[in-house]
Amino acid sequence: MKRERISSASYNLIMKQLARHQKEGRISQEQMLDMLRTYEVIEGINFIKVLVTLGAILVGLGVLSVIASNWIYIGKLLKFLIIVGGYLVVNFFSYYSREKYPKTSRAFFYLGILIYGAGIFLVGQMFNFSSFYTSAFLLWAIGIFPLTILVKDKWALGFLHILLLIYLNEMYFNGETAVVVFFIMPLLYLSQLKIRSGLNFFMSSVVTLNFLWIVMDNILGFAGDLLLFIYFLIGLGLFVIKPPDFQEVIHLLGNIIFTFSGFLLTFDFIWQQPKLINVPINIIFSLSYVLILLFFIQRQNLLALIFLGLTIFRFYFDVMYDFMNKSIFFLVGGLILLGFGYFFERKRSILRRGEIEK
Amino acid sequence: MKSRSLAAYILAVVFPVLILLSMSFLPVMTYFYGEEILLETTPLDPRDLFRGDYLNLRLAINEVPISLFPEKLRYWATFEEYQDKNLYAILKKEEDYYIIDKISFTRPKDQLYLKAKVDLFQPLNQENYQTVEVNYQLDRYFIPENTGEKIEDLAREGKLIVAVKIWRGYPLISDVFNK
């Protein structure tokens, strides 16, 4: 049986209600417990957790900024030893407090990650590594990978993804392809076996798509319009497939990609091949894009509705601004927005009602 | 968490420390065993000269005349085959400072050299180039916070001297001072 995940506040409300029904004799205790078993409480934001994590992050940032200021009063070697020593000490504390104080233990683990990052930048500074020293973020990500998997921390794994994205794009802006990420990607997906998390599956997919983009641009030499069009198709594909797992995450990713890349493709300056059979290609694309959006709006897709609004508004601005009297222009523009606001609200309430009925 | 073996935990904790140590290996070896040479700087566009707490450096040896490059890079016939090959900048002393003697495909045995990184798109002939920009990963020098103004002026005017230690082609900036 798949249990529905709800917040602890909702769970408490349902529990109270069911207890009342049971007390008043509408359901038996067994039925009540049976119903409650169909819910799973999502672990919400915990005050202590927020406090210790914030503390760890602040201390970590403090360490990073001490390193960045390149303080002359401590020698280089001493600084290095302080960093390594500090890193080992916080991990020691993290290990020994893991059962008694799990939240504090986790905070120490985060602190260790930040101190290690500071260490990487310290080494770069000690030896005057050149500006082409892009591997810092890669080394940071690789270094924290084993421990993150071992302690099964999904936030640290999310942070690791961000580090990889920074590295990937830093290399990209230097005109290089970060091939090593290709070998790390399978590990990112494999980590789902240890740390199952939709957030990280989403991030891994972003890394994959980012890498694919760079390969198509740097190695295959695809033009910008072709790349965007390919991503539009990929997005559509991800949005309509029915994968056995992580369906919601994949649909969300596809939804974002196809609406956004499609919107960019409605602009004529994006296209290097401006005309197709004498009609501007962006117009042909825009028409098909609007039809696709309408199709998904009819299936209650909110993002499609937002982008339909954006597309209509952008064409309105593009075409009408030069021709119309300013006051009429703003008037009509305002009416369009109001209309969309109304339509948007109505769709959302329909969507909500649908969910309740389900 | 309970079943986690302590050994695996220790390995995972020590792994980042090993990365930090391995990053330091080449520079430390260069620090102890490298031969120190002096290099001149040239004036630098001041716009992005000083970002935060490091100084951008531009060395005289960053600009290399095409005549010092191997012949195979001068003609289309051989250019494509050789354009991505590793290059070594062989150094020679002229008065107090070192300059480039030549750029070679082979690692020299008993001369001082630096690994050279060059982006080449077309053959090195007079029509395309006079000089080529060569990167030795020697473009950044970290200084303490808020101490940069004086040294920044000197760098802008190209009046700085950079002391570099070299070990097996790996450079480590050991000092930067006024001419």
Has residue A37 got a pLDDT over 70? yes
Average pLDDT value for residue range A89-102 = 90
DSSP helix/strand/coil, A52: helix
Interface A–B counts its CB contacts (< 8 A) at 93
The CA distances from residue A272 to A132, A168, A224, B161, in Å, are 32, 26, 8, 49
Residues in chain B within 8 Å Cβ distance of A84: 17, 20
Q: How confident is the model at residue A266 (pLDDT cuts 50, 70, 90)?
A: confident
| A113: closest chain B residue by CA | B16
Average pLDDT value for residue range B21-47 = 81
**Token pair of B7, please?**
């050994």
Pick B16's closest partner by Cβ from A69, A116, A150: A116
What is the spatial distance between Cα B155 and Cα B33, in angstroms, rounded to a whole number? 28
Q: How confident is the model at residue B48 (pLDDT cuts 50, 70, 90)?
A: very low
Q: How confident is the model at residue B50 (pLDDT cuts 50, 70, 90)?
A: very low
CB A110 within 8 A of CB A156: yes
The angle that helices A180-190 and A154-173 make with each other, rounded to 10 degrees, is 160
Question: How far does A150 lie from chain B, in Å, by closest CA?
Answer: 7
More confident residue, B124 or A101: A101
Residues in chain A within 8 Å Cβ distance of B19: 120, 139, 142-143
Percent pLDDT > 90 in chain A is 30
More confident residue, A147 or B151: A147
Question: How far does B28 lie from chain A, in Å, by closest CA?
Answer: 9
Average pLDDT value for residue range A183-204 = 91
Average pLDDT value for residue range A237-261 = 89
Average pLDDT value for residue range A200-226 = 91
pLDDT at B49: 43
Kindly determine whether residue A99 and residue B24, on different chains, have CB atoms separated by under 8 Å.
no
A53-56 long-range Cβ contacts below 8 angstroms, 24+ apart: A53/A106, A53/A107, A53/A110, A55/A107, A56/A107, A56/A108, A56/A110, A56/A111, A56/A114
Has residue A213 got a pLDDT over 50? yes
Average pLDDT value for residue range B157-169 = 87
pLDDT at B78: 78
User: How far is C-alpha B12 from the geometric centre of its chain's CA atoms?
Assistant: 33
What is the spatial distance between Cα A247 and Cα A233, in angstroms, rounded to a whole number? 18
Mean pLDDT computed over every residue of chain A: 85
Most confident of A192-206, B28-42, B120-134: A192-206
DSSP helix/strand/coil, A322: coil
Has residue B161 got a pLDDT over 70? yes
What pairs with residue A280 in β-bridges?
A275
pLDDT at B148: 67
- The H or E element that residue A39 is part of is strand A39-41
What is the spatial distance between Cα A159 and Cα A140, in angstroms, rounded to a whole number? 10
CB B77 within 8 A of CB B57: no
Has residue A259 got a pLDDT over 50? yes
Strand pairing report for A279-280 and A275-276: antiparallel
Residue B92 phi, psi dihedral angles, 5° rounding:
-140, 155
Tell me: the pLDDT tens digits for B79-102? 777 777 888 999 988 888 998 888
Residues in chain B within 8 Å Cβ distance of A123: 20, 23-24, 27
* pTM for this entry: 0.78
* B59 C-beta neighbours (distance < 10 Å), count: 21
What is the spatial distance between Cα B28 and Cα B22, in angstroms, rounded to a whole number? 10
Residues in chain A within 8 Å Cβ distance of B175: none
Percent pLDDT > 90 in chain B is 10
Average pLDDT value for residue range B34-46 = 77
Kindly determine whether residue B144 and residue A69, on different chains, have CB atoms separated by under 8 Å.
yes
pLDDT at A1: 63
Strand pairing report for A275-276 and B131-133: unpaired
Query: A313: left (phi > 0), else alpha (psi -120 to 50), else beta?
Result: alpha
Question: How far does A87 lie from chain B, in Å, by closest CA?
Answer: 9
- The H or E element that residue A41 is part of is strand A39-41
Would you list the DSSP string of chain B?
A: -TT--HHHHHHHHHHHHHHHHHHHHHHHHHHHHPEEEEEEB----GGGSEETTEEE--BGGGEEEGGGS-GGGSSHHHHHHHTTS-EEEEEEEETTEEEEEEEESS--SSS-EEEEB----S--STTT-SEEE-B-S--EEE--TT--HHHHHHHHTT-EEEEEEEETTEEEEEEEEE-
Tell me if ipTM is over 0.90. Answer: no
* Cβ neighbours of residue A170 closer than 8 Å, sequence gap 6 or more: A134, A137
Has residue A53 got a pLDDT over 70? yes
Nearest to A67 by CA among A29, A120, A103: A120
| A69: closest chain B residue by CA | B145
Mean pLDDT computed over every residue of chain B: 81
Kindly determine whether residue A123 and residue B24, on different chains, have CB atoms separated by under 8 Å.
yes
The angle that helices A198-214 and A154-173 make with each other, rounded to 10 degrees, is 10
* Lowest-pLDDT range of A25-39, A331-345, B22-36: A331-345
Q: Given CB atoms, is B7 within the 8 Å cutoff of chain A?
A: no
**Token pair of A111, please?**
């602190």
Q: How confident is the model at residue A168 (pLDDT cuts 50, 70, 90)?
A: very high
What is the spatial distance between Cα A127 and Cα A148, in angstroms, rounded to a whole number? 29
Nearest to B72 by CA among B106, B45, B98, B46: B106
Domain ranges across chain B: 35-178
Residues A85-119 as b/e (b if ≥16 CB within 10 A, e otherwise) read: ebbbebbebbbebbeebeebbbbbbbbbbbbbbbb
Residue B172 phi, psi dihedral angles, 5° rounding:
-135, 120
* A330 C-beta neighbours (distance < 10 Å), count: 11
Domain ranges across chain A: 262-358
What is the spatial distance between Cα A40 and Cα A1, in angstroms, rounded to a whole number? 12
Q: How confident is the model at residue A176 (pLDDT cuts 50, 70, 90)?
A: confident
pLDDT at B46: 46
What is the spatial distance between Cα B126 and Cα B117, in angstroms, rounded to a whole number? 21
Q: Given CB atoms, is B23 within the 8 Å cutoff of chain A?
A: yes
Q: Which residue matches tokens 């998904």?
A: A296
Torsion over CA: A217, A219, A222, A228 (sign): negative
Pick A72's closest partner by Cβ from B11, B17, B144: B144
Q: Given CB atoms, is A139 within the 8 Å cutoff of chain B?
A: yes
Strand pairing report for A4-6 and A39-41: parallel
Residues B118-150 as b/e (b if ≥16 CB within 10 A, e otherwise) read: bebeebbeeeebeebebbbbbbbbbbeeeebee
Average pLDDT value for residue range B42-52 = 52
Q: How confident is the model at residue A145 (pLDDT cuts 50, 70, 90)?
A: very high
Has residue A62 got a pLDDT over 90? no
